[in-house]
Amino acid sequence: MSPSRSAQRNVRDVVFVDGVRTPFGKAGEKGIYAGTRADDLVVKCIRELMRRNPSLPADRIDEVAIAATTQTGDQGLTIGRTAALLAGLPRTVPGFAIDRMCAGAMTAVTTTASGIGFGAYDVVIAGGVEHMGNHPMGAGADPNPRFMSERLVDPAALNMGNTAENLHDRFPAITKDRTDTYAAASQAKLAAAYSNEQIQHDLVPVATMKPGQGWALHTADEPPRPGTTVADLAELRTPFRAHGRVTAGNAAGLNDGATAAVLASAEAAEELGLTVKMRLVSYAFAGVEPEVMGIGPVPATEKALKNAGLGIEDIGLFEINEAFAVQVLSFLDHFGIADDDPRVNRYGGAIAVGHPLASSGVRLMNQLARQFEEDHSVRYGITTMCIGLGMGATVIWENPHHAAYESFTTDQATAATTEGAAA
């Protein structure tokens, strides 16, 4: 017997309730998290979310999804489940691990959000971790020899720095001076955000212990270099190509850190008295040539906008992951947005704060949510990022503080999605 129409589910609104992260550290023996386990960083985030949201009973959490690019050692053993147990959540709370390289946490959010929209979950925790000191990027990887023998991808596609140089080749108008100018501005914007206490609220203090040094409490990001100038950046070497354009100053570094967020159905958030910081409007992933993976956010954003029935002119805030400055500028050029547009990365980005691969998606969401709270004139914002091996990811969010938010019903959301798909 086929199920009756009354048994079919309607898509439910999904809301971003809260997000936190550890301070980001520099990878390596001198970094703040040298000797610290990756899973312990995730546990800190989960416990802080529960502390900050006391009206959320632990047994109401339906799933824990945690991403990691390197899923071995202290980032292995199905880290979503192990982190849930280590954080003290009830044993009835399941969990799983996700890998989509840089977009791991973003995929953890969209995957569990889809479950909420379908009705499988009411409340979830989603996030990511990357301890690049414990797990250097690509360590232990064994690419299939067919990638080379059958020329499936250019060898350069397996090195992200080379793909950024390729992007410079494709878009010669994006000069090194432009990328250095953008990078210096990112450092300045992050420094201003710290000065205005716009970053600290989302940080979880982390205590670490190093032999011979004792305990230390970390309450701020380690990578930022406030005061960096374009002249400073001009002197840096170009490690990926002789006389190239990509440097350590106009790209994100190698970092350690973790993030986590609570998402819920709109109904569950209201029932439990949870704050709504954003509403998920649409999301999309797209594939591009691996050799120029940094262009991935462009088709992903175009797909997400189409699905939402929106245009780029409707987006009032952009949180773009700064894997490389050239990657951000290629996105801005495609959509006709100025390098210094005030809608873009108001608090600075990964060039300044760091990019612990699979964790960064939720950092973008935290910063967008904070900006929504500050600027009620903005209705829609996006979080977007490029992904290794040639992909892009974009999530569109709505500001609950905007005057039009209350009038946006589930029926209207369904109609907008249908119209977008038909366009």
Residues acting as catalytic residues: 102, 355, 386
Cβ partners under 8 Å of residue 253, min gap 6: 26, 27, 223, 354, 355
Q: Which of 89, 16, 14, 20 is nearest to 57 (CA)?
A: 89
Phi then psi for residue 381, to 5 deg, are -140, 160
276 by DSSP, 3-state: which?
A: coil
Q: Which two tokens stand for residue 410?
A: 């589930």
Query: What is the crossing angle of helices 325-334 and 297-308, to 10°?
Result: 40
What whole-number distance in Å separates Cα of residue 404 and Cα of residue 40?
41
Phi-psi region of 203 (alpha: psi -120 to 50; beta: other; left: phi over 0): beta
Closest alpha carbon to 129 in 72, 48, 205, 59? 72
Strand pairing class (95-98; 63-67)? parallel
Q: What size, in residues, is the chain?
A: 423
Distances (CA, A) of 5 to 2, 9, 11: 9, 9, 14
